[in-house]
Amino acid sequence: MIPGPTPVPETVLKAMGRHPIGHRSGEFQAVVERTTAQLRWLHQTNSDVLVITGSGTAAMEAGIINTLSRGDRVICGDNGKFGERWVKVAHAYGLEVTVIKAEWGKPLDPDAFRNALEADTDKQIRAVILTHSETSTGVINDLETISRHVKAHGTALTIADCVTSLGATNVPMDTWNLDVVASGSQKGYMMPPGLSFVAMSERAWNAYERSDLPKFYLDLGPYRKTAAKNSNPFTPAVNLYFALDAALEMMQEEGLEAIFARHARHRDAAQSAMKAIGLALFAAEGHGSPAITAVAPTGIDAELLRKTVKDRFDILLAGGQDHLKGKVFRVGHLGFVCDRDVLTAVAAIEAVLISLDAHNGRMGAGVSAASSILSKS
Ligand X SMILES: *Cc1c(COP(=O)(O)O)cnc(C)c1O
Q: Give whichever of 97 and 369 is closer to ligand X, judged by the CB atom.
A: 97
**Binding flag, residue 366, ligand X (CB under 6 A):** no
d(CA 291, CA 331): 9
Q: Give whichever of 143 and 353 is closer to ligand X, judged by the CB atom.
A: 143
Report whether 135 contacts 57 (CB < 8 A): no
Q: Give whichever of 135 and 293 is closer to ligand X, judged by the CB atom.
A: 135
Burial class (CB in 10 A: 0-12, 13-18, 19+), 139: buried
* Sheet of 48-53, strands arranged across: 48-53, 195-200, 180-184, 157-161, 125-131, 73-78, 96-101
In whole angstroms, the minimum distance from the beta carbon of 294 to ligand X comes to 12
Cα dihedral 166→169→173→174 (10° resolution)? 150
Of residues 48, 161, 179, 350, which one binds ligand X by CB under 6 A? 161
Residue nearest to ligand X (CB): 56
Specify the stretch interacting with ligand X by CB under 6 A; choose among 54-62, 68-76, 216-224, 343-351. 54-62
Q: Give whichever of 3 and 63 is closer to ligand X, judged by the CB atom.
A: 3
In whole angstroms, the minimum distance from the beta carbon of 114 to ligand X comes to 23
Q: Give the length of the chain.
A: 377
What is the pattern of x (binds ligand X, CB under 6 A) and - over residues 78-117? ----x-----------------------------------
**Binding flag, residue 35, ligand X (CB under 6 A):** no
Of residues 184, 297, 319, 366, which one binds ligand X by CB under 6 A? 184
Specify the stretch interacting with ligand X by CB under 6 A; choose among 51-59, 95-103, 148-156, 316-324. 51-59
In whole angstroms, the minimum distance from the beta carbon of 77 to ligand X comes to 12
Please, what is the Cα angle at 12 between 348 and 2, to 5 degrees? 30
**Binding flag, residue 368, ligand X (CB under 6 A):** no
Q: Which of the residues 113 through 142 are near ligand X (CB under 6 A)?
A: 131, 135
What residues does 150 pair with on adjacent strands?
Answer: none
Contacts of 263 (CB under 8 A, 6+ apart): 168, 169, 290, 291, 333, 334
**Binding flag, residue 188, ligand X (CB under 6 A):** no
**Binding flag, residue 163, ligand X (CB under 6 A):** yes
d(CA 191, CA 245): 10
In whole angstroms, the minimum distance from the beta carbon of 57 to ligand X comes to 3
Burial 70-81 (b: 16+ CB within 10 A, else e): eebbbbbbbbbb
Report whether 276 contacts 365 (CB < 8 A): yes
Q: Give whichever of 188 and 297 is closer to ligand X, judged by the CB atom.
A: 188
**Binding flag, residue 335, ligand X (CB under 6 A):** no
> DSSP letters along 200-251, please?
E-HHHHHHHHH--S--STT-HHHHHHHHTTT--SS---HHHHHHHHHHHHHH
Q: Which of the residues 275 through 304 are near ligand X (CB under 6 A)?
A: none
Give the start-end residues of each E strand in the chain: 48-53, 73-78, 96-101, 125-131, 133-134, 139-140, 157-161, 180-184, 195-200, 280-281, 292-296, 318-319, 329-332
Report whether 342 contacts 270 (CB < 8 A): yes
Q: How many residues line the site for ligand X (CB under 6 A)?
A: 13
Of residues 11, 57, 170, 226, which one binds ligand X by CB under 6 A? 57
In whole angstroms, the minimum distance from the beta carbon of 82 to ligand X comes to 4
Q: Give whichever of 38 and 164 is closer to ligand X, judged by the CB atom.
A: 164
Specify the stretch interacting with ligand X by CB under 6 A; choose among 35-43, 114-122, 157-165, 221-229. 157-165
In whole angstroms, the minimum distance from the beta carbon of 136 to ligand X comes to 8
Binding site for ligand X (CB under 6 A): 3-4, 55-57, 82, 131, 135, 161, 163-164, 184, 187
